[in-house]
Structure 1
Amino acid sequence: MTAVITQPPRTAGGFGTRGRVALVAVLLATFMGLLDASIVTVAVPSIQRGLNASFGEVQFVSAGYTLAYAVGLVTGGRLGDLYGRRRMFLVGVVLFVLASLVCAAAPSAAALIGARVLQGLSAAVMLPQVLSIIQHGFTGPARATALGCYGATVGLASITGQVAGGALLAWNPFDLGWRSAFLVNVPIGALALAIAARTVPESRGTRARLDLPGAGLLALALVALLLPPVQGQGLRTVAGGLAAAVAALALFALVERRQVDPLVPMRLLAQRRMVRGLLTVLAFYAGNAGFLLLLAYHLQSGIGLDPMGSGLVFTPLGIAFAVTSLMGRRRSSLVCGTILMAIGLAGVLTVVLAAPEAGQAGWLLPALTLSGTGQGLVAAPLIGKVLAGVDPADAGAASGVLLTATQVANAAGVALIGGLFAHALGAAPGSPAASFPDYVHATAVTTTAVLALAVITGFLVHER
């Protein structure tokens, strides 16, 4: 029987050699969960053709995962607090691998959508436990190193997904087509499960019951907030969803204040450091998500690169992000990182406006490397900034809130920056009606907006 640890171990700043192996296991699961979100994006056109799906159905292949993941994160984190973070992590990995197999075998679009929703819910159980395990198991410099490794994993997964997705579709092993994009999760998940079962120690917060009314209201609020933008609905629908989400969140806050065991302890949101950190997360990740979207359209529809070529242009950004995530262990790197982000984005803006169409992809590489360097310096210490001072009993809830804020930021960035891009383009992105000068104008306008978000991020991380 596994012993339950209720206070972080203090030996050597972490849990020794076994702890480092455990870190590898939880980071493998993190890589798998984030890889799945990006690799499927590349495979969407093939899925649509292979299953004879409508555009709305294929949209929800991606949106179903994102929505289920975001809706379940806080509840998933709280389940770890209540029933054991190791236990819920292992359950999440098993469910994710099984859902991946169902996705790969899906005979229809409806079956694939259902499996993707299950995948998202499985990720919501699995991934909040990762940050909780790191917060609980490591202290001092060891925790900073572990968070740096986490940030590096995030960067590698996001870029690897785009490159690997294009490579798998081009290679088409065993004539599996798009189904191979889901089957890659099986060996990764099996390895993570085998290592974690032997090395990750059990921990939990105060034993209590799950706040079902709070979970229901929060899920309702997040569905209302995220469903319209992830489905690409119009401004009126998005605004209506936002109004419904605000009302549901107000009721959620009222209910939580009266709960003995709330889903989100209000003491978390009473901490000025955490609130400021969450606002920083919203600005940082909204800008990053919007930037990836607009640049993908510029590279593929504006310049004419194929998905594989576009993914290769993104690669220096991802590598720089991963490498500097391991370096950005100090809070001082937050300000330095935002400055580098801003300089890199200004470089992208200059290249887009000044470089000829034929040479833009090459000229973008240095600017993207600089931007990725800045992002990596911000990502890891930002996580530590948000979670610093959180009671170990609330580690799961706090991790769920942090990851939910990240997902909200991603959805908002794609919706708002994507909407601004389409408006500035004057046509549907990808439409043959738009010319290269049109894409130059739209990319310049939206890159300026992303640059403004980087400046806001710098202002928020600056300690006064």
Structure 2
Amino acid sequence: MTIDHPPAESPFPQAVAKPRPPALALAILLLGGFITVFDLFVVNVAIPSMQADLGARFADIGFVIAGYELAFGVLLIAGGRLGDRHGRRRLFALGMAGFAITSFLCGIAPDATSLIVARLLQGATAAILFPQIYALLRVLFDDAGRRRAFGLLGMTLGLAAIAGQVLGGIIVESDLFGLGWRIIFLINLPIGVIALLSARIIPESRSADAMGVDWPGIGLATAGLLLLLLPLLEGPTIGWPLWTWASMAASVVLLAAFIAWEHRVAERGGDPAIDLALFHNVAFWAGSLVVLLIYSTSTSLFLCFALLVQSGLGLTPFAAGTLFAPASVGFVVASLVAPKLVARFGNMAIAGGALVYAAGIGWLIATTAGLGDGTETVALLPPLVLFGFGQGLSMTPLLNLVIGYVAEKHAGMAAGFISTMQQVGGAFGVSVVGIVFVGILGRPAGDGISNAGRYAHAFAGAMIYNLAAVIVAAALMTFMVRKRPAGR
């Protein structure tokens, strides 16, 4: 579950006493956080319906998911800085309006290509919207109110993830107005209008020393990542033609150009998208890789699991969402427990949580490999609960651990970069896992192997990457814990 996002940019001064903003302002901000996360998860239960309606391939569906995360991730820092400079309420309202419009475009998409483009735009508007929520919660409330507000935000994001699975299944299966899967996007239009009209009650705020937006750097990073993800998603289904390798080579060139540009901007005293000096810190470098690995396992599992239980085992969207709900509950429970475990046992508890996560994935692989039909899906519940619990134990405290290895003056920049790594990691995981999943599913089925068996084998094989990624992340966490955090 990818539901934890640290602030996209600079921390704000602590205020001793502030007038309490209207309760409706808090509700509108929480609603903004809810719909951005809900739309990440609700797509999972609608994937088979989308494929059937649009004639979409796995690569198309992979881009529907990865495109949202990629655009969301690479533009998060820019969204935060734009809010600091031009007004956070204004950018929140602009992001909400854009999210509603792009959701409408998703809902009326006539084909897979149109849906992919609309999802990229939707992710971009989410990147404008989401950083303002953290920033406004920090500047509008005093210390006590801020703790309460962020606690409610964490609970809201957790509920959004659960609702995306369960409520999303109900919405798709109910086929409201004969719209099928399209309704999961179209419902954002009235929600966005209500939130937009209510946003005027939110007090405006700006930063007097807001950083500039490094558009050339963001452009290079976005183009480089797109040229990497596109062949990874398309290659397995079209036989890896020459253009896929050329695209990956061009990606390396553009990402190298991005690094050179960021170095140049910093040397000239400008505001780079990411200060490369952060990576002189080995522990932060390792932590960034841990975030990429851990979050690459989340979205990819949801995608493959949705195809397994619906296309393979024949479950309805509601049944599929309900089946995964215990994992979401396990995640929320572990998120509440994790800070207490870290306080008692130290940061090594996070590495232990990653091992619990790996155990859940391993158990899920072993259980799935023996599935034959939908009547056996109850066997998936115990490993799913362990999976969700381990995910919560490792993901929830991980972000604070990584940011703790940089100096306080770089905390905002580090937080923004780690937020980006979360989303880019999700997009990368979908691409890599898709190669294995499509490869196994495309093999000729042997005698006596049912459709359910084919999907079960494809899922189990694809999740080997997830298992390896989490184990490597746990090893890197152990290395990090031995390093002394900044300022300690």
TM-score band (shorter)? 0.7 to 0.9
- State the one-letter code of the partner of 2:443: A
User: Matches of 1:391 and 1:133 in 2, distance apart?
Assistant: 20
Report the equivalent of 1:181.
184
Classify 1:231/1:150 alpha carbon distance in 2 versus 1 (closer, same or farther; 3 Å): farther
1:315-340 deviation line (CA, Å, top 9, x unaligned) = 11112212322333354452342232
Classify 1:185/1:229 alpha carbon distance in 2 versus 1 (closer, same or farther; 3 Å): farther
1:372 shift after superposition:
0.5
1:87 shift after superposition:
3.5
Report the equivalent of 1:295.
305
User: Matches of 2:82 and 2:259 in 1, distance apart?
Assistant: 20
User: Matches of 2:48 and 2:454 in 1, distance apart?
Assistant: 24
Helix, strand or coil: the match of 2:101?
helix
Classify 1:106/1:224 alpha carbon distance in 2 versus 1 (closer, same or farther; 3 Å): closer
Match of 2:222 among 219, 224, 249: 219
Conservation of the 8 A alpha-carbon contact between 2:62 and 2:430:
no
1:231 shift after superposition:
4.7
- State the one-letter code of the partner of 2:431: A
1:365 shift after superposition:
0.7
- State the one-letter code of the partner of 1:449: Y
User: Matches of 2:142 and 2:277 in 1, distance apart?
Assistant: 22
Match of 2:427 among 395, 398, 411: 411
1:64 shift after superposition:
4.8
Indicate whether 1:352 and 2:368 are aligned: yes
Report the equivalent of 1:73.
76
- State the one-letter code of the partner of 1:173: L
Classify 1:374/1:191 alpha carbon distance in 2 versus 1 (closer, same or farther; 3 Å): farther
User: Matches of 2:262 and 2:140 in 1, distance apart?
Assistant: 29
User: Matches of 2:21 and 2:470 in 1, distance apart?
Assistant: 38
TM-score scaled by structure 2?
0.77
More off after superposition, 334-343 vs 54-63: 54-63
User: Matches of 2:217 and 2:365 in 1, distance apart?
Assistant: 44
Conservation of the 8 A alpha-carbon contact between 2:68 and 2:123:
yes
More off after superposition, 235-244 vs 418-427: 235-244
Match of 1:98 among 94, 97, 101: 101
Classify 1:53/1:157 alpha carbon distance in 2 versus 1 (closer, same or farther; 3 Å): same
1:151-177 deviation line (CA, Å, top 9, x unaligned) = 554444344223333322322333343
Report the equivalent of 1:257.
263
Report the equivalent of 2:35.
32
Helix, strand or coil: the match of 2:124?
helix
TM-score scaled by structure 1?
0.81
Match of 2:292 among 256, 259, 282: 282
Helix, strand or coil: the match of 2:339?
coil
User: Matches of 1:190 and 1:122 in 2, distance apart?
Assistant: 15
User: Matches of 1:121 and 1:288 in 2, distance apart?
Assistant: 21
1:419 shift after superposition:
1.7
Q: RMSD across aligned C-alpha pairs, in angstroms?
A: 3.9
Classify 1:345/1:209 alpha carbon distance in 2 versus 1 (closer, same or farther; 3 Å): closer
Conservation of the 8 A alpha-carbon contact between 1:144 and 1:384:
no
- State the one-letter code of the partner of 2:256: A
1:199 shift after superposition:
4.6
1:21-170 to structure 2, matched below 5 A, reads: 24-43=27-46, 46=49, 55=57, 62=65, 64-104=67-107, 114-133=117-136, 152-170=155-173
User: Matches of 2:458 and 2:140 in 1, distance apart?
Assistant: 46
- State the one-letter code of the partner of 2:354: T
Indicate whether 1:372 and 2:375 are aligned: no
Classify 1:223/1:77 alpha carbon distance in 2 versus 1 (closer, same or farther; 3 Å): farther
- State the one-letter code of the partner of 1:219: T
More off after superposition, 222-231 vs 436-445: 436-445
1:60 shift after superposition:
5.6
Aligned length: 454
Conservation of the 8 A alpha-carbon contact between 1:205 and 1:394:
no
- State the one-letter code of the partner of 1:341: Y
User: Matches of 1:346 and 1:108 in 2, distance apart?
Assistant: 37
- State the one-letter code of the partner of 1:248: L
Gaps of 5+ in 2: 1-9, 483-488
1:160-210 deviation line (CA, Å, top 9, x unaligned) = 223333322322333343332122223543555566654566243733543
Indicate whether 1:401 and 2:417 are aligned: yes
Indicate whether 1:8 and 2:8 are aligned: no
1:256-314 deviation line (CA, Å, top 9, x unaligned) = 22222222223444444432321111111112233223333332344332332222111
Identical columns (%): 35
Classify 1:242/1:154 alpha carbon distance in 2 versus 1 (closer, same or farther; 3 Å): farther
